[in-house]
């Protein structure tokens, strides 16, 4: 079993381990679809260009807010598998401080085993979603937290 980076937060590590235990690509996709189905509804007014993830074939939107010093993400996609990837990242990164989000290395993506199941464009999109979330966390790092 591959070990994820030490900077991988516990919630993300748990998801990585679950995916590592699933050797069947179809089961991995089913898990992504399940995550997509349980993703919190994304506010329509937030579907604006500044919240759109660049470099994705699908329409993907991500917003971040800071509460009590922790980052909370919301996201959406018009493609269910991509929406599942967004949900995976939200579930794995929500509640961290901006600094903790920035410390996460993208090696966890390889550790999930998803890259062998995803098309190259979708795998690239997954990375772009992750980098966008880190960028949004960095933007929040200097802002005052809301309660």
In the predicted model, residues of the chain with pLDDT beneath 70 are 1-6, 144-147
User: Can you give the pLDDT at residue 144?
Assistant: 63
How many distinct structural domains can be found in the chain?
A: 1
Question: Does a structural domain hold residue 69?
Answer: yes
Range of the domain at 89: 10-41+57-140
Tens digit of each residue's pLDDT (9 = 90 or more) over 8-21: 899 999 999 999 99
Which of 4, 12, 32, 56 is labelled catalytic? 56
- Give pLDDT, residue 145: 56
Strand partners, 61: 52, 76
Q: Taking a C-beta distance cutoff of 8 angstroms, is the pair 79, 29 a contact?
A: no
Q: CATH number, domain at 72?
A: 3.90.1010.10
How do residues 98-126 score in pLDDT, each as one tens digit?
999 999 999 999 899 888 778 888 889 99
Is 21 in the active site?
no
């Amino acid at each position: 079993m591959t070990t994820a980076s030490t900077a991988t937060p516990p919630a993300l590590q748990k998801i990585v381990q679950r995916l590592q235990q699933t050797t069947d690509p179809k089961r991995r996709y089913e898990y992504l679809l399940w995550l997509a189905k349980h993703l919190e509804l994304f506010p329509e007014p937030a579907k604006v260009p500044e919240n759109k993830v660049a470099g994705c074939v699908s329409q993907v939107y991500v917003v971040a807010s800071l509460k009590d010093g922790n980052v909370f993400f919301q996201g959406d996609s018009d493609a269910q598998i991509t929406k599942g990837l967004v949900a995976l990242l939200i579930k794995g990164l929500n509640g961290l401080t901006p600094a903790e989000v920035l410390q996460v290395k993208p090696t966890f993506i390889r550790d999930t085993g998803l890259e062998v199941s995803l098309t190259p464009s979708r795998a690239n999109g997954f990375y772009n979603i992750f980098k966008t979330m880190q960028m949004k966390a960095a933007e929040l790092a200097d802002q005052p937290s809301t309660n």
